[in-house]
A and B are shown apart, each in its own frame.
Chain A
Amino acid sequence: MSFLPTDEQIQIAEGAQRLLAQSYSGEALKALLETTGRYDSGYWRSCSEMGWTALAIPEAYGGLGLGLIEMAMVADASGRVACGAPFLITSYMASQALLLAGAEAVRSEQLPWLASGDKIGCIAFAEDANPIPPDPQVRCEGEAVYGCKRGVLGGVHADVAVVLASGARGPVLVLVDLSAGGVTRRIVNTFDNSLGVADLVFEGAQGRPLDAACANSVAWDVLDRAAVVVAAAQTGGAEVCTAMARDYATTRRAFGQPIGRFQAIKHKIAEMYVANEIAKANCLEAALRLDNRLPEFTALAAAARLSATQAYDFATREGVQVLGAIGATWESDMHLHMRRARSFASVLGSRFVWEDRLVGALETSS
């Protein structure tokens, strides 16, 4: 397959990269690490002003009606600056859940808010290490939700959540207004605080069940798409770390020469580049498959997820190593990416989950 991006897509990608690079501040991001409950409001304003929140929402609901390819391009730009808010991703996931399973009334009420960025969405599917628990502990009784979802990305600030719960006849997806009664947010102090992670405790919170005939399968569809968006962000981050390592290796001298002349260093950086190229290829191919309704999207989304996780982990782990002691200081921006790489590696489920997802897709298709 593969494709070459259109001029319009290149404009979106380059525009996002330029804008975010201009407003990047490593110091501001580090300040966000030291406190809970705060995010980079400037970045989030850009997301709505530039229309990025509206990208993948149909025009009928106030969106731009574009696809996963464009979404991935903006996510890539956000990943490059280790952006200080998770809402582009979390609102995307909520909007996809509503598009896949929401009744028309719910969609036409909620999606315009998510498209404009006036409201922030999130999903609360995961329990323990399962991104989609087969048998959720959180319960939905009639329209009342009970139980606790731990470690919800964006949970500190989100206005609405799509919650995966156990209903009377198996798992259901429920839309919960997080500002209404019966919801308590417990902010979690994490190693990557701008991601706004919170435990959401539901004590009879009012929920609106979505229409999904098979909630788990819809939840997986949402995660597959989100996996590609996150993979793009991971890949963008990995490319920045690779560039940092490369730049350092060409200027830093030891034993009378630039350290990039030693194969122990240059091969490491070449391997980073190779891993990034693998991740990019899978990411764009997966996005292309979804946007054009081509087969094998699930396996490719998992391939993108696994490749990007590997690439970002490798680029940060070894990027610090190339920079030496300076790379391990608070002052270096490398740890912003090291933290983000770990957050992203776990946020939609670990690689073990996605390896199963990938092979499961191959098993059913062959």
Chain B
Amino acid sequence: MSAAILAELETYRATARSWLAAHAGAYGAAARTGLNEAQDLELGRRWMALKHDHGYSGISWPRDMGGSGLSPLHQAIFAQEELPFDFPIDYFTISLGQPAPIMMHYAPEVARRRFVKPALRGEQIWCQLFSEPGAGSDLAGLRTRATRDGDDWIIDGQKLWTSWAQYSDYAVLVARHDPSLPKHKGLTFFWLDMRTPGVTVRPIQLADGSRHVNEVFLDQVRIPDTQRLGQIGDGFAVAMHTLIIERYAAGADETGYGPGLGLLLHLARSARLGPGAALDDGRVRSAVAEAYRLQQALATARSKAFLEVANQREPGSEGAIHKLVSVRARQRMSELAVDLMGPGAPHRRDARAKHDWVASWLSAPTGRIAGGTDEILLNTIAEKVLGLPQDHRPDKGIPFSEIPSRG
């Protein structure tokens, strides 16, 4: 890569950083303290609009779609710089991460024009109706039915773990149009308005007390065939496409979206264990050393993937490794931190995982499951990188309706 491109990226980084720092007071961690979720979401919408006004929302998206037409590297740099300030962006991450790019890719021109820009500005939020009670890691085992009725489809079923559905205006959806086909082949992809009659959203409280995921019931929901994305039967391919879109390059965080090593060092210095500081204890030092070596390696691997992309090469399996290693490490670090804080470790309900060890520890299990479980990631590495055989899959190639227990 030419030094000129690298220099340009670093200039972009410096500009972005100072712009972010200038707005941290009004939109960042301090501004969010004490807000209820409705207020926080409103702050988030204003933040997204401000970002869009300044070309920082949809950085790598085409200009005629409301983006800034820059590279995925610019996007990754901005995401990296934005993360530490703790801006209220969670509500929009999935919306802009998967459904909006899919609309950009598969929707007809008129729908794209209508939907993409409001999503970029945080005026509208999209969710992703994928997982179901009986279909998580095995997404293609989903049972929500799409039945053709003239020019429409009737959708019936139940979705689960849908992030931010309670605030979503629109959704992308994958459903089964033909149970007589093998499970991957009988799926079709749609988009829909969440206000369509028959859509009911019910928040689910997670173990950490948060309520960002939902059950979504679809009861005789009628949507026109014009809201189909991709061909009939291409649903699984479209869904897989959404799951791999720039998830890694867009801003993976070595801490697994938990507190940084600096906070652990600070805690281990101030907590007393035995005659001195906890950080003087060999077992604590061992844990700190492990956290450091894992996080450093992930940061290096990400920089390398970044350079590879900048040099028009395909990065490898860094994304899967990053998620697997960073979240497991975060869980262990958080356990250690809570141990060091002792039984009086305060649990603040509005605390966020990036800054609070208890919050990080309580939500770490979700991190190891959502967006690809550890086990699925290990399978991905084993099969895609190392060429090991696929697991035994007795449901392969047979009609979905004949799979035992599905019937």
Task: List residues of A whose CB falls within 8 A of some B CB.
Answer: 1-4, 246, 249-250, 257-258, 260-261, 263, 266-267, 269-271, 273-274, 277-279, 281-282, 284-285, 299-300, 302-303, 306-307, 351-352, 354-356, 358-359, 362-363, 366
Contact = CB atoms under 8 A, between A and B. Distances in A.
B321 interface: yes
Contact of A303 (B282, B297, B318): B297
A263 B285 contact: no
Chain A interface secondary structure, helix, strand, loop or mixed? helix
Contacts, number: 133
Contact of B262 (A3, A299, A358, A366): A366
Given A4-B311, A274-B321, A274-B324, A258 B389 contact: yes
Nearest to B311: A4
Nearest to B306: A2
B293 A306 contact: yes
Given A269-B386, A303-B293, A278 B325 contact: yes
Nearest to B316: A277
B114 interface: no
Interface stretch (B130-138, B209-217, B374-382): B374-382
Contacts of A352: 282, 286
Given A277-B321, A362-B265, A263 B375 contact: yes
B387 A284 contact: no
Contacts of A267: 375, 378-379, 382
Nearest to A2: B303
Interface string B301-328: 1011011100100000010010011000
B296 interface: yes
Given A4-B307, A281-B301, A263 B289 contact: no
B375 A282 contact: no
B188 to A, nearest CB: 31
Given A2-B303, A4-B311, A278 B294 contact: yes
Nearest to A300: B296
B391 interface: yes
B307 A2 contact: yes
B218 to A, nearest CB: 33
Nearest to B303: A2
Given A278-B293, A363-B279, A284 B300 contact: yes
B321 to A, nearest CB: 5
A250 B296 contact: no
Contact of B292 (A258, A271, A356, A362): A362
A266 B378 CA distance: 8
B304 A266 contact: no
Contacts of A273: 381, 385-386
Contacts of A355: 282, 285-286, 289
Given A261-B390, A266-B382, A366 B307 contact: no
A302 B285 CA distance: 13
30 contacts: A2-B300, A2-B301, A2-B307, A3-B304, A4-B307, A246-B386, A246-B387, A246-B388, A257-B392, A258-B389, A263-B379, A263-B391, A266-B389, A269-B386, A270-B385, A271-B378, A273-B381, A278-B321, A279-B297, A281-B298, A282-B293, A282-B297, A302-B289, A303-B293, A303-B297, A307-B293, A307-B297, A352-B286, A359-B289, A363-B279
A260 B300 contact: no
B388 A4 contact: no
A99 to B, nearest CB: 27
A303 B290 CA distance: 8
Given A2-B303, A266-B388, A274 B381 contact: yes
Contacts of A263: 375, 378-379, 391
A279 B301 CA distance: 11
Contacts of B308: 4
B401 to A, nearest CB: 26
B139 interface: no
A319 to B, nearest CB: 13
A246 B382 CA distance: 9
B50 interface: no
Nearest to A357: B289
Given A274-B325, A359-B285, A363-B279, A260 B389 contact: yes
Contacts of B403: none
B293 A358 contact: yes
Nearest to B290: A306
Contacts of A302: 289, 293
Interface in B252-302: 261-262, 265, 279, 282, 285-286, 288-290, 292-294, 296-298, 300-301
